[in-house]
Amino acid sequence: MKLIEFYKGRGINIVKGENQYVWDDKGRKYLDLHAGHGVAFLGHRNKIVMEYLQKQMSEIITLTTAFDTPIRQEMLKELDTVKPEGLDNVFLLNSGSEAVELTLKIARKITGKKKIIAFKNSFHGRTSGSLSVTWNKRYREPFEPLLGPIEFLDFNNIEELNKIDEDTAAVIVEPIQGEGGVIPAHQDFMKALREVTQEKNILLIVDEVQTGFGRTGKIWAHQHFGIKADLMTAGKAIGGGFPVSATFMPDWIAEKLEEGDHGTTYGGNPFAAAAVTGAIKALKADNVTEQARIKGEIFMKMLNEALSDFKIVREVRGMGLMIGVDLRLNPGLAIKTLQDEGILSLKAGVSTIRFLSPYMITQQDMEETVNATRKGISLTESKKLSS
């Protein structure tokens, strides 16, 4: 039996993970700034998350939300302490794509309208609905026609917001475009977007699957902009490594949803509830959000200073521990060099090296990453000059 590989193999066999590190089958240690596309923000095998999972494993693992269970009630109490203001209702699913799918269904049901607006360079998932609002044509075109009508506007362009009309059900936006190149939204753009959607009675969906749960220096990245979402998705880090996602909404939306409007076999199961409970407790116990803010500032400063002499470096950008080094060339060689030097990273957009660090990254880890990044970029620049 062969595994279908939609992701290109990296050529190493990982057998163990602990905090910010992983080890391959040859015993080599790597600093993991790939972190499973950002999932391992709380570190591999976070102790608090593991304690909750182990305890739940000894009780019950499988149970639909048609039945109540103590761990789910504990999870809801914990979620109350981190949820965005006004988003007092949650539905748990299994992946970020599923959370996005639910928001799109809700937007159409609640508003009675069909059109959705997204942004160029956006990424919201690969299922049919979430793929419809994902910009990259390479992902979309083989599977069209998809959900429609969809309109893509320029990200961070306030003038483009004038194209949003009252026939729109919802606008979906990432506070930082992750897959699109680690591109943070501008303060004035996000405020203007919120104003336009409120004026025209349009739902604002904020996709926090990658940005949320402390990674950017606030629990939710849209809080940097002082705005409120109508619907918000979360995923990746909220389960501490366990596959779980969530859609948050206010009372006035939740009250209009009916039995059968959506469903899930595994969503909100006791194991997932235990993972989320443990993850929230871990987030608060170690002041994770503040650590991400401080360490992110230090890391970005180090990268900026170390890479300023390279002509092929366009920009170092990001927020907290979601950082991108944007090049004027394909970053593939630099990412390979990083891996050869014992540091795992990933690509974003066409030309960006993406670092999605666990929060416990150390000063030494950063220094090693900066040195390896310099080496990778130097090799990339040299290859360009010699070609």
Angstrom distance (rounded) from CA 117 to CA 132 = 10
Pairwise CA distance, residues 91 & 102, whole Å: 9
Residue 267, token pair as written in the block: 């969503």
Residues 6+ apart with CB under 8 A from 249: 87, 89, 90, 91, 106, 230, 231, 232
Q: Consult the annotation and say whether 337 binds a ligand.
A: no
d(CA 195, CA 71): 39
List the strands of the sheet with 343-344, edge to edge.
14-18, 21-24, 29-32, 343-344
For the chain, give percent helix, strand, coil, nearest 5.
40, 20, 40
Task: Please tell me whether 265 is known to bind a ligand.
Answer: yes
Cα 7 to the chain's mean position, in Å? Answer: 18
Q: Which contiguous run of DSSP H or E holds residue 284?
A: helix 270-285
126 is in an annotated binding site: yes
Which structure tokens are listed for 151? 């309109």
Q: Is 127 annotated as a binding residue?
A: no
Location of structure tokens 């990296």: 10
How big is the chain, counted in residues? 387
| CA–CA dist 122, 49 (Å, integer) | 31
* Closest residue by Cα to residue 244 from 212, 200, 291, 202: 212
Burial letters 73-90, b for 16+ CB under 10 A, else e: ebbeebbeebbbeebeeb
123 is in an annotated binding site: yes
303 φ/ψ sector (left φ>0, alpha ψ -120 to 50, else beta): alpha
Whether residue 70 is preceded by a cis peptide bond, meaning omega within 30 degrees of 0, is no
User: Of 362, 387, 381, nearest to 31 (Cα)?
Assistant: 362
290 belongs to an annotated ligand binding site: no
Q: Which residues contact 297 (CB under 8 A, 6 or more apart)?
A: none
Q: Is residue 165 marked as binding? A: no
Any binding-site annotation on 210? yes
Please give the annotated binding residues, written as ranges: 123, 126, 207-210, 264-265
Annotated binding residues for substrate, as ranges? 126, 264
Annotated binding site for pyridoxal 5'-phosphate: 123, 207-210, 265
